[in-house]
C-alpha cells in the first residue's frame, strides 16, 4: 500500500425527503445563490419547483444558470462566473448530475480567479480557492457530489479535460434516490457503466498489498451488478436506486483508490470520443472497457483479472488466471450489453477515419494508464477493436 | 435503507513517515498543545521522542498528560481539563490507541463546559463544542481516530459509558502502520477482535436493502480474517499492519452503519465486564461475540447469519440458513481462539456470582440490541454461557 492523504468532509444528506434540509445547509455558507441546472428535466419532475420554494422560504436570493449540457462547456462556466460577479453570488447550488455539478465547481473556482477558467485545465493556473458549493443530485453516475474533481469540455478546441482541488469538494450533497426515478433506462444504464468504470480505473492496479481497497471495490461492483437489472426493470425501486446512488458517491471519493496507483486510461480514451462526438460519457466507457481489458490482459496483469473474475463474477472451477481473466472480461461485456448499451463505436456514430486523430490527442502528453502504459499505437488498436467489435 | 447523514472530515495522513506532517497540521489550529499518552510504550518505541522533537522544531509549546490507562478514567479527563485551563492549551494531541484518543476527546469537550465531564455520559449535558483534536495512532482497534465517539470509565461508580458528537471528530489523524509493529501479539489480536466486533454490531441488522453497506462490511471482515494470522506470525509485516490499521478506521466511521439499525448489545455487555474487571476491551468482545451470535440466532435472524457464513467464511454447499449460520458462528469462535484469545469469562477472572449484577446494570435503561432485543434475563443467559463455555 502506498502512502496517502484522505479527506472528504462533504456532508451527505441521504434519503427520501432530505431536500427539506436545503435551506438550513445553504444558510451556513451564503445568502445569494447561483442555481445551476441542465434542461427541463428538473422542471418536469418537480424538483426545480421544490428547490426554488425552499430558497424563497428561507429568504435566499438566487440567480439561474440553466442549459448546462452533458459534457459541460467552458462557455457555460464563463457565463456562470459573469453572473456570480454581476450579482454578488456567495454560494453555488448545482441541481443535476455530474455535468451540472462539475460546471458549478469550476464556476465556483473561476469567480476567485482573474484569468480564464480554462487555465485550470491547461495547468496554466492552480485552483487556490472557490465559492462554497452544495449539490442536489438527480443522477447516479459521476460521484462528483463527494469529491474535488471536475471535467469540462472546450467546444473551440474540442478538448475535454479534468482538474481537481480540495477547494472544489462540495460542502454538502443531498442524495434523494427518488429524484432518480425518472432517469430513463438508457441514461440509468450509462450511469451504472460510469460508476463501474470509476471502480475499474482504481481496482486494476499493480500496487501490492491493497486488500481492503480491493475488497471494497468488489463490494461496489457487486452492488452495481446486483441492482442494475432491477432498476432497469423497475425504475421506481427505491432500494435499487438508493444502493446505486450511494455506491456512485463512494466509488470516486478516494476510498478505493487511495494507497494505489490508479489507471484512468479508459477515461482518457473516452474523453476524446465525447469531446468530438458528444456521446454520453457512461456509454462511451461501457463500449471501451471490455476492449481495454482485453488489450491490457497479459501474464503480468492476469492475476488481477483472475481475482476480478473470481470475486466479482464468482467464476469458479480449476481455471488458471488467464482463463479466468477471459471469462471475467466476457462477463463484463455481456453485462453492459444486457443493460441495452451499445458495444461498438460504429453503432454510436464514431467515424473510423478519425480514430487516428483521437489516438494522437489522447497521448499528446505521453503514454496513458497506470495498470498498463498505453502509447498512441496501443490506443489506436483499442479504438479500432472497439469500432469494429 | 434508512435515511442518514454522513460527514467525516478528518484528514487522514496514512503511511510510513507521515509524522513529518504533524507540525504543519497542528499549526492550522493551535500553538499550545496538551500531549496525551499512556504509559511508557511510546517512549520505548521512540514515537514520543519524534513527537516532542517536531513540536519543538515548530515552536509549539506543550503540556503533558501521561498515564492514560486502557478503559480510560474520568479522573484523567478531569486532570486534563485542569491542565488545559491552567496553561491556556488550544489543541489536544493524543498519541496512542482508542483509550488515549477517547480521553483526549472528552478533555477537549470538557474545557468548553463548566460542569463535570461525566455529565456528557449521564446525558445531563450535551457537547456543544470542543478544542480541536488531532491524533497519532499507535494501535489498530478502536477507530476513534475517524469518528466523534468516546467511551470513558468512572472508577467511582464502576460505570463505563459512551457519548458522541460531531465536535469530537479529529481534525487529522496520522496513521503510520510502522507504529503498530511493537504491539504485542495478544493486544494485536484483541485489537482485531475489537475491529471485527464494530463491524458485527453494524452488519447484523434486520434493516432491508443495505446491500452496499453489507458488502463493504464483509470486505472489512475478510481483511481482518486474511491478515490476522500474518500479523501475529510476523509483527513487522507492513502490508498486514497497514490493511488492518486502515480497516480499523473505516469500520467505525459510519460507512457500514449509516442507513441501518445497528445492534451494539455485545459492546454494552462488554462495557460492564471491563468496568468491573478492567479487562482488555477487545478480549472481552472476542469472548462474548460467539455466545451472543448463538443466543440471537433464530428463524428471523438466520438468513443474515447465512449471508455472513457464505460471504465472509465462504462456506458452500446445499446448507439451509440455520445450518450455515451455525457453521459461521463456529468459524467465528474458532478464529478468535486461533489468535490466542481466551474463550470463556472464567479464564479472564470474571466471577460467576457477579454475572447477575452485571446483567442488571446493562439493562438498567431497558432492553439492549437492535438486531434482537435483549432483556436482563437474556443478557444473564449469554453471560452464563460465556462464563462456562
What does chain B come to in residues? 389
Question: Residues with Cβ < 8 Å from A13, sequence gap 6 or more?
Answer: A21, A25, A172, A173, A174, A175, B5
**Given A11, A15, A218, which is nearest B2 (Cβ)?**
A15
Find the range with the poorest average confidence among B67-76, B205-214, B238-247, B285-294. B67-76
The minimum CA-CA distance between B94 and chain A, rounded to whole Å, is 20
Cβ-based interface (< 8 Å): residues of A facing B:
1-18, 208-212, 215-216, 218-220, 222-223, 226-227, 238-239, 242-243, 246-247, 250, 255, 258-259
Res. B24: pLDDT tops 90: yes
pLDDT tens digits, residue range A162-203?
999 999 999 999 999 999 999 999 999 999 999 999 999 999
Confidence of residue B317 (pLDDT cuts 50, 70, 90): confident
- Judging contacts by C-beta atoms under 8 Å, the chain A residues touching residue B4 are 12, 14-15
**How much is the average pLDDT of B162-178?**
97
Q: Identify the residue among B212, B237, B241, B310 best suited for mutation to test binding to A, counting A beta carbons within 10 A and taking the highest.
A: B212
Confidence of residue B330 (pLDDT cuts 50, 70, 90): very high
Residue A228, pLDDT score: 98
A138 close to A184: Cβ distance less than 8 angstroms: no
Helix B376-388 to helix B265-277 angle (10° resolution) is: 60
Q: Could you give the percent of chain B with pLDDT greater than 90?
A: 95
The residue assigned the cell 446483567 is B359
Nearest to A191 by CA among A183, A202, A181: A183
Res. A230: pLDDT tops 90: yes
Res. B312: pLDDT tops 90: yes
Q: How many CB pairs under 8 A join A and B?
A: 123
Res. B362: pLDDT tops 90: yes
**How much is the average pLDDT of A342-365?**
96
Residue A316, pLDDT score: 87
Q: Is A300 exposed, middle or buried (0-12, 13-18, 19+ CB in 10 A)?
A: exposed
- Judging contacts by C-beta atoms under 8 Å, the chain A residues touching residue B17 are 3
Question: Residues with Cβ < 8 Å from A204, sequence gap 6 or more?
Answer: A263, A296, A301, A304, A305, A308, A371
The minimum CA-CA distance between A214 and chain B, rounded to whole Å, is 8
- Judging contacts by C-beta atoms under 8 Å, the chain B residues touching residue A15 are 1-4, 259
d(CA A287, CA A342): 7
- Rounded to a whole number of angstroms, the CA Rg of chain A reads 20
Residue A319, pLDDT score: 86
Find the range with the poorest average confidence among A291-295, A316-320, B72-76. A316-320
- Judging contacts by C-beta atoms under 8 Å, the chain A residues touching residue B5 are 11-14
DSSP conformation class of A208: S
pLDDT tens digits, residue range A83-111?
999 999 999 999 999 999 999 999 999 99
The minimum CA-CA distance between B327 and chain A, rounded to whole Å, is 21
pLDDT tens digits, residue range A139-156?
999 999 999 999 999 999
- The answer to whether the CB atoms of B15 and A2 lie below 8 A apart is yes
Give B12-75 as a 3 state SS string. Answer: EEECCCHHHHHHHHHHCCCCEEEEEECCCHHHHCCHHHHHHHHHHHCCCEEEEECCCCCCCEHH
Residue B78, pLDDT score: 98
CATH of domain B185-388: 1.20.1090.10
Mean pLDDT of chain A: 97
Cβ-based interface (< 8 Å): residues of B facing A:
1-18, 208-212, 215-216, 218-220, 222-223, 226-227, 238-239, 242-243, 246-247, 250, 255, 258-259
Confidence of residue B45 (pLDDT cuts 50, 70, 90): very high
Q: Could you give the percent of chain A with pLDDT greater than 70?
A: 100
Confidence of residue A40 (pLDDT cuts 50, 70, 90): confident
Res. B275: pLDDT tops 90: no
User: Which chain A residue shows the shortest CA-CA distance from B176?
Assistant: A3
- Judging contacts by C-beta atoms under 8 Å, the chain B residues touching residue A239 are 1, 208-209, 211
Q: Could you give the percent of chain B with pLDDT greater than 70?
A: 100
The C-alpha angle with vertex A332 and arms to A146 and A220, in degrees rounded to 5, equals 30
- This complex has an ipTM of 0.96
- The answer to whether the CB atoms of A2 and B10 lie below 8 A apart is no
User: Which chain A residue shows the shortest CA-CA distance from B166?
Assistant: A11
Q: Could you give the percent of chain A with pLDDT greater than 90?
A: 95
Give DSSP secondary structure letters for B212-262: HHHHHHHHHHHHHHHHHHHHHH-TT-HHHHHHHHHHHHHTTSSTTTTTS--
Residue A275, pLDDT score: 84
Residue B37, pLDDT score: 97
d(CA A101, CA B282): 44
Return the domain boundaries, chain A: 11-179, 184-388
**Given B2, B11, B243, which is nearest A211 (Cβ)?**
B243
Question: Residues with Cβ < 8 Å from B46, sequence gap 6 or more?
Answer: none
Res. B158: pLDDT tops 90: no
Q: Which residues pair with A174 in a beta bridge?
A: A13, A136
**How much is the average pLDDT of A251-270?**
97
Res. A318: pLDDT tops 90: no
Residue B322, pLDDT score: 96
CATH class of A184-388: mainly alpha
**How much is the average pLDDT of B216-221?**
98
The minimum CA-CA distance between B153 and chain A, rounded to whole Å, is 31
d(CA A78, CA A73): 9
Mean pLDDT of chain B: 97
Residue B39, pLDDT score: 85
Which architecture characterizes domain A11-179 according to CATH?
A: 3-Layer(aba) Sandwich (3.40)
The residue assigned the cell 489523524 is B173
Nearest to B15 by CA among B248, B235, B179, B176: B176
**How much is the average pLDDT of A106-132?**
97
User: Which chain A residue shows the shortest CA-CA distance from B237?
Assistant: A209
Q: Do domains B11-179 and B185-388 have the same CATH topology?
A: no
Find the range with the poorest average confidence among A42-56, A336-350, B107-121, B269-283. B269-283
Confidence of residue B278 (pLDDT cuts 50, 70, 90): confident
Confidence of residue A39 (pLDDT cuts 50, 70, 90): confident
Question: Residues with Cβ < 8 Å from B345, sequence gap 6 or more?
Answer: B273, B287, B355, B383, B386, B387
d(CA B88, CA B81): 10
Residue B71, pLDDT score: 87
Res. B243: pLDDT tops 90: yes
Q: Identify the residue among B166, B211, B239 best suited for mutation to test binding to A, counting A beta carbons within 10 A and taking the highest.
A: B211
- Judging contacts by C-beta atoms under 8 Å, the chain B residues touching residue A222 are 215
- Judging contacts by C-beta atoms under 8 Å, the chain B residues touching residue A12 are 4-7
**Given A4, A210, A211, which is nearest B15 (Cβ)?**
A4
Amino acid at each position: 500500500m502506498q502512502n496517502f492523504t484522505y479527506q472528504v468532509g462533504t456532508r451527505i444528506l441521504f434519503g427520501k425527503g432530505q431536500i427539506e434540509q436545503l435551506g438550513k445547509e445553504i444558510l451556513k455558507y451564503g445568502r445569494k445563490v447561483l442555481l445551476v441546472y441542465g434542461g427541463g428535466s428538473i422542471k418536469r419532475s418537480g424538483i426545480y419547483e421544490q428547490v426554488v420554494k425552499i430558497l424563497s422560504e428561507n429568504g435566499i436570493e438566487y440567480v439561474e444558470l440553466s442549459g448546462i449540457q452533458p459534457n459541460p462547456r467552458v462557455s457555460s462556466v464563463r457565463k456562470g462566473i459573469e453572473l456570480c460577479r454581476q450579482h454578488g453570488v456567495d454560494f453555488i447550488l448545482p441541481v443535476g448530475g455530474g455535468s451540472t455539478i462539475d460546471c458549478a465547481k469550476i464556476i465556483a473556482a473561476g469567480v476567485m480567479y482573474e484569468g480564464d477558467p480554462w487555465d485550470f485545465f491547461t495547468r496554466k493556473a492552480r485552483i487556490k480557492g472557490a465559492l462554497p458549493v452544495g449539490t442536489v443530485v438527480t443522477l447516479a453516475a459521476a460521484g462528483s457530489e463527494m469529491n474535488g474533481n471536475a471535467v469540462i469540455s472546450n467546444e473551440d478546441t474540442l478538448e475535454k479535460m479534468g482538474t481537481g482541488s480540495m477547494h472544489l469538494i462540495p460542502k454538502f450533497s443531498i442524495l434523494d434516490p427518488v429524484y432518480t426515478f425518472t432517469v430513463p433506462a438508457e441514461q440509468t444504464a450509462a450511469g451504472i457503466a460510469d460508476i463501474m468504470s470509476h471502480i475499474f480505473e482504481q481496482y486494476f492496479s499493480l500496487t501490492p498489498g491493497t486488500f481492503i481497497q480491493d475488497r471494497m471495490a468488489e463490494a461496489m461492483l457487486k452492488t452495481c451488478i446486483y441492482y442494475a437489472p432491477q432498476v432497469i426493470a423497475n425504475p421506481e425501486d427505491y432500494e435499487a436506486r438508493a444502493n446505486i446512488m450511494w455506491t456512485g458517491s463512494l466509488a470516486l471519493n478516494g476510498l478505493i483508490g487511495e494507497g494505489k496507483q490508479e489507471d484512468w486510461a479508459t477515461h482518457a480514451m473516452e474523453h476524446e470520443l465525447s469531446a468530438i462526438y458528444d456521446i454520453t460519457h457512461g456509454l462511451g466507457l461501457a463500449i471501451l472497457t471490455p476492449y481495454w481489458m482485453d488489450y491490457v490482459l497479459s501474464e503480468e496483469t492476469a492475476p488481477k483479472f483472475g481475482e476480478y473474475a473470481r470475486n466479482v463474477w464468482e467464476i469458479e472451477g480449476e481455471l488458471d488466471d488467464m482463463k479466468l481473466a477471459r471469462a471475467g472480461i466476457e462477463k463484463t461485456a455481456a453485462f453492459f450489453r444486457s443493460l441495452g448499451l451499445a458495444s461498438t463505436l460504429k453503432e454510436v456514430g464514431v467515424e473510423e477515419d478519425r480514430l487516428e486523430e483521437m489516438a494522437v490527442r489522447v497521448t499528446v502528453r505521453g503514454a496513458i494508464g497506470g495498470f498498463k502504459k498505453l502509447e498512441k499505437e496501443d490506443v489506436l488498436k483499442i479504438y479500432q477493436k472497439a469500432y469494429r467489435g
